Amino acid sequence: MEDLTKESNIPISEVSIKVPWGHIAGKVWGHSNGQPVLALHGWLDNAGSFDKLIPLLSHDLYIVAIDWPGHGLSSPRPAGAYYHLINMVADLKYVVDGLGWSRFSILAHSMGVGPAITFAASLPELVDRMVLLEGLTPVQIKAKDFPTQMGITCTVLTAPSMQNKPEMVYPSLEACVSRIMQANSELTKEAATALVQRGTTQVDNGYIFTRDRRVKLTSLLHTTEEISTSYLESIKCPTLVIMAEISVFSHEKIKKLVQVLKEAKMIIVSGNHHVHLNNAPVVAPAVNEHLLKDFPGAHKSQL
């Protein structure tokens, strides 16, 4: 049995999937004859979010970690278009069609969980298994609050500053790392560096973050408890929910939602919201076990 605790020699490459407004970029780990897995990062992150976890997973997995549109190396949405949950579900269909996958599994973190469960519920024949890290549904709000929220959203999205405000320039990559750690104190320096390496680009006088400022308005990703429950009831694939001990979500609420799923379990691991990036070894064994359960002859991690 291969020892995956040693430095990984798994092949790594890049992929670019054409979409009507540009391309969706992805970082590819493994061999194309492996078990296909689509990895979906969280809000304001990029495919580098999985740089610490994927090397600890089995070499029998073929993982494509995408940059969501407006993040990392992917094209932003065109002017006048915005970042809605429905668009993100369609993004996944563009990706799997571009990759030629007829069946695949999903590994999703935080914001990536919403489109993952929506896709798996809407097109259940395509999804084999899911691992959901720190989340189980899109952010839920009460239906009565949608009109007010939509008014605020439209006002912000159409403001001139949203279109014309110049990007902040940082003098060095180290300054970019410091900025991420300032905004998200739970990230280790190593974790922040992984995100900066894929989420910035050099300009004449320094570096800027490549993420589209429109992605910061997350209200277009919200849904109601009733809609979320409907999606969960429609999911057919086995699902593993991994929650961090120090989570941004209520464990009790997630436990109740897990019971709606037909075949699912929830585990809690030590760590915080970015546990898969800050401390990947506590997550990797469970991810391996779940994704490889029905894959014949698969090697398991010895973590």
Say if residue 7's pLDDT is above 50: no
Chain segment 103-140, per-residue pLDDT in tens: 999 999 999 999 999 999 999 999 999 999 999 999 89
Q: Catalytic pick from 58, 105, 110, 219?
A: 110
Decide if 54 contacts 73 (C-beta within 8 A).
no
Decide if 77 contacts 83 (C-beta within 8 A).
yes
**What does the pLDDT average to over 33-52?**
97
31 lies in some domain = yes
174 lies in some domain = no
Q: What pLDDT is attached to residue 297?
A: 52
Decide if 283 contacts 269 (C-beta within 8 A).
yes
Tally the domains of the chain: 1
Enumerate the β-bridge partners of residue 35.
61
Q: What pTM does this model have?
A: 0.93
- Residue 174 CB contacts under 8 Å (≥ 6 apart), including other chains: none
Decide if 136 contacts 257 (C-beta within 8 A).
yes
Spacing of C-alpha 199 from chain mean position? 14
303 lies in some domain = no
Q: What pLDDT is attached to residue 201?
A: 96
Catalytic, 219? Answer: no
300 lies in some domain = no
**What does the pLDDT average to over 264-268?**
97
User: pLDDT class for 296, splitting at 50, 70, 90?
Assistant: low
58 lies in some domain = yes
Say if residue 143's pLDDT is above 50: yes
104 lies in some domain = yes
Chain segment 278-295, per-residue pLDDT in tens: 999 999 999 999 999 876
Q: What mean pLDDT, rounded, does the chain reach?
A: 92
1 lies in some domain = no
Query: Residue 111 sits in a domain of what CATH number?
Result: 3.40.50.1820
User: pLDDT class for 8, splitting at 50, 70, 90?
Assistant: low
**What does the pLDDT average to over 178-186?**
95
- Which domain covers residue 241, as residue numbers? 12-140+221-291
**What does the pLDDT average to over 8-30?**
94
108 lies in some domain = yes
SS (H, E, C) the chain: CCCCCCCCCCCEEEEEEEECCEEEEEEEECCCCCEEEEEECCCCCCHHHHCCCHHHCCCCEEEEEECCCCCCCCCCCCCCCCCCHHHHHHHHHHHHHHHCCCCEEEEEEHHHHHHHHHHHHHCHHHEEEEEEECCCCCCECCHHHHHHHHHHHHHHHCCHHHHHCCCCCECCHHHHHHHHHHHCCCCCHHHHHHHHHHHEEEECCEEEECCCHHHHCHHHHCECHHHHHHHHHHCCCCEEEEEECCCCCCHHHHHHHHCCCCCEEEEEECCCCCHHHHCHHHCHHHHHHHHCCCCCCCCCCCC
